[in-house]
Amino acid sequence: MEGIVAIWQRDVIKFFRDRARLVGSFAMPFMFLILFGSGMSGAISSMMGGAGSGPLADFDFVQFMFPGIIGMTVFNTAIFSALSVVQDKEFGYMREILVSPISRVSIAIGKVLGGSTVAVFQGLMMLIFVPFIGVAISVMMVLKLIPIMFLVAFTLSSIGLIIASSLKTAQGFQMVIQVLVFPMLFLSGALFPLSGMPAWMNFLVKINPLTYSVDMFKKIILQPEKMEPALRKAMGLDLTVFNHLITFSDEILGVALLGIVFVILATFRFSRAEA
C-alpha cells in the first residue's frame, strides 16, 4: 500500500516541480480556444443557420468548445503520463523500483493513480480561461467535474500504461499515442458539434469512449437540460445509442467499467513485461 503511495507521490511532486511543463500545458488549449475557437465561431454559427434569430442564435462556439478543451487536456495529460514509465526505463530509475519488494501490481496502480491525479490538476487549471469565455461556472460544477475528470483520466492513464509497457523508447511511445489520440479526439465531439455525419463516422463516434467522456463534461458545464431542444440537437448533445437517450449515469457507469477493464489489462501487461 505504501508502495502505491510512494509511486503516486513521486509523479505528483515531479508534476508541480516542472515549471516549463506547467506553463507549456496552457499553450495548446489556448491556441484552440483563441485561434480555432474565435476564428471558426462565425463560420460554424452561420453554417448552423443561427447567424440571425431563432433558438440557434444562442449558439456560441467558444463556449461549446470549452468542455471539449477540458476533456482534451485531461485525456492528453492522462495518456501521456505513462510516458514517465518509458522515461524511467530509459533513465534507469525503473530498475530502482523494479528491484525493490513492491509488487508489480502496486507499481502499475501507483502509476495510473499518479497520472490520473496530474490530469485532474491539469484539467482544473483550464478553468483559468473561464472569465474570458463567458461561461458561468459554479462551485457545484467544479465539485462535480473533479470526480468525473478523475474517472476519465483513470481510464486513459490505464490505456497509456498498456502501451508504455509494450514499448522501450519514449519516441515510440509518443508516436503510438499521437496516432491513437488524434482520431479519438476528433471523433469525440470535443472540438466541433457532431451532427449530420455519415453513418460510418457516426459508428466510430459511438464506439469512442472519449465521446461519452466529453459528453459528461458538456453535461456539467453547458447544462443542456436548460437549452432549447433545437439548439441542443444542433450542438450534438442528444447522444443516442439504438434509440436510447444516453444519460449522465449511463456514461459514468460505462466509463467506470472501461476504466476497470483497462486498469486490469494495464496491471497485467506491466507485470508480464517487467517480471
Partner 1 sequence: MSNIIEVSGLKKSYKDFEAVKGVDLNVKEGEIFGFLGPNGAGKSTTINMLSTITKPSEGTAKINGYDNVREKNKVRASIGLIFQEPTLDEKLTANENLMLHCKFYSVKKEIREERIQEVLQIVDLTDKRTNIVETFSGGMKRRLEIARGLLHYPKVLFLDEPTVGLDPQTRTHVWEYILKLKKKAGITIFMTTHYMDEAEICDRVAVIDHGELIALGTPEQLKSNVGGDIIEVSTEDNSAAKVLIEKNYQTEVIEIENAHLSFRVAKGSEFLVDFIKQFDIPIKSVNLRKPTLNDVFLQLTGREIRDETVAQKDIRRNKMRRGMH
Grid coordinates given for 158: 490505464
**Count of residues engaged in binding partner 1, rule: CB under 8 A:** 23
Angle at 134 (CA atoms; ends 131, 138), nearest 5 degrees: 75
Residue 84 vs 213, nearer CB to partner 1: 84
Using CB under 8 A, pick the residue from 3, 55, 172, 254 that binds partner 1.
3
CB of 98 to partner 1, least distance (A): 7
* Residues 46-105 close enough to bind partner 1 by CB under 8 A: 91-93, 95-103
CB of 13 to partner 1, least distance (A): 7
Separation between Cα atoms, residue 188 and residue 200, nearest integer Å: 14
Rounded alpha-carbon distances, angstroms, from residue 223 to 49, 55, 231, 235, 237:
22, 15, 12, 12, 10
138 burial class (0-12, 13-18, 19+ CB within 10 angstroms)?
exposed
Using CB under 8 A, pick the residue from 10, 144, 232, 233 that binds partner 1.
10
Contact flag: residue 199 with partner 1 (CB under 8 A) = no
CB of 274 to partner 1, least distance (A): 10
- Binding map of partner 1 across residues 153-182, x = CB under 8 A, - = no contact: ------------------------------
Q: Which amino acid is at 48?
A: M
Counting Cα atoms < 13 Å in the Cβ hemisphere of 275 gives: 4
CB of 157 to partner 1, least distance (A): 20
Summary count for the chain: helices (H), strands (E) = 15, 2
CB of 85 to partner 1, least distance (A): 13
Residues that bind partner 1 (CB under 8 A): 2-3, 5-6, 9-10, 13-14, 17-18, 91-93, 95-103, 275
